[in-house]
Amino acid sequence: MHRSRGESVPPGRAIRHNHGVSVSVLLVDDQPLVRAGLRMILESASDMSVVGEASDPREASRETRSLIPDVVLMDLMDGPNGTRAIHGVLEGVRPLGHGVRVLALGSHALESHLHGALRAGASGFLSKDTPPEDLVSAVRVVAEGGAVLPPLLLHRLLDEFVPMLPSDQPQGRRPQDPLSGREREVLRLLARGWSNAEIAAHLFVGATTVKSHVGSILTKLGLRDRVQAVIHAYETGLVRPGERHANHR
C-alpha cells in the first residue's frame, strides 16, 4: 500500500484528502517508475494532489474505499482484467455515496478494450503518450463530471453511434455559425481525428496557428474542449460518419 507523504488512515474510515486543493488523485499502475512520473506531472499543478498509489486492482479498490479520491487514474492493464478493475473500484465506493471517477490510461495496443472500459464506468480514456499538460487538463475535466476521449477514438465511437440516431434535423452548419472559413476547416479536420500537427501540415500553416484556431473555435462556440468540438461537428452535419479516413495520411 502506498500512502502520500506518510499519511495513515484509520481502519474502516473513508475520508477525502483534498487539503487545500480542488482535485485529489489516486494513481494505479503496476510500474513504480510510471507512478512516479504521473505523480510528478500532476503535483506540478497547484490545484492537484496525489493522495495515494496502488499497484494492482485489489489494492486499487481498497485504496479507493479508504482515500475516496476525486479521480482514480488507472492503467487499463491487460484488457478484461483492466475492465474488471474499473468496475471493482467503482462498485466498491458506490455504497459510500461518493462520486469517485475513473480515467483510464492505455497504449494504442489496448484501444480495442475502450468499449469495455466505458461500459465498466470509466469517464474517459487517454493514451500513455498524451502530453503532460493534456493529462492534467483531462484529470480536471473528469473531476468536474466531464468525459475525455482522444478525438480519433471519439470519432470511432460516433461513427458507430450516429447511424442509430433518427435523422430529424437538417444537416449543414447552423445559420448563425460564428466560425470563419478557415476555422470551420480546422474543426472539420479535428473532428476526423487529426492531430494539430497533421492539420498544420495539411493546411500548410504552423502548429501554433492551428492551436490558436482551435482555441478560437472553442471560445466562439462556447465549448469546453476538443471532445465537445467533435460532438458539435457531428450535430451540425459538418462531419458525417465514415469521413475520418478522407485525405488522412
pLDDT tens digits, one per residue of 68-112: 999 999 998 766 677 888 988 988 888 777 789 999 998 765 556
Across all residues in the chain, what is the average pLDDT? 79
Query: Is the pLDDT higher at 7 or at 45?
Result: 45
CA distances from 10 to 13, 15, 66, 67, 97 (A): 6, 10, 9, 11, 19
The CATH code for residues 157-235 is 3.40.50.2300
DSSP H stretches of helix in 73-206:
80-93, 114-120, 132-143, 151-161, 181-191, 196-203
- The pTM of the full predicted model, rounded to 2 decimals, is 0.64
Instruction: Provide mean pLDDT across the span 175-198.
Output: 85
Superfamily grouping for domain 2-148:
Response regulator (3.40.50.2300)
CA 69/CA 101 separation, integer angstroms: 8
Instruction: Provide mean pLDDT across the span 149-155.
Output: 71
pLDDT tens digits, one per residue of 6-44: 343 333 333 444 445 689 999 999 999 999 999 999 999
Give residue limits of the domains in the chain: 2-148, 157-235
Contacts of 187 (CB under 8 A, 6+ apart): 179, 217, 229, 232, 233, 238
2-148 and 157-235 agree in CATH topology:
yes
Are the C-beta atoms of 74 and 124 separated by less than 8 Å? no
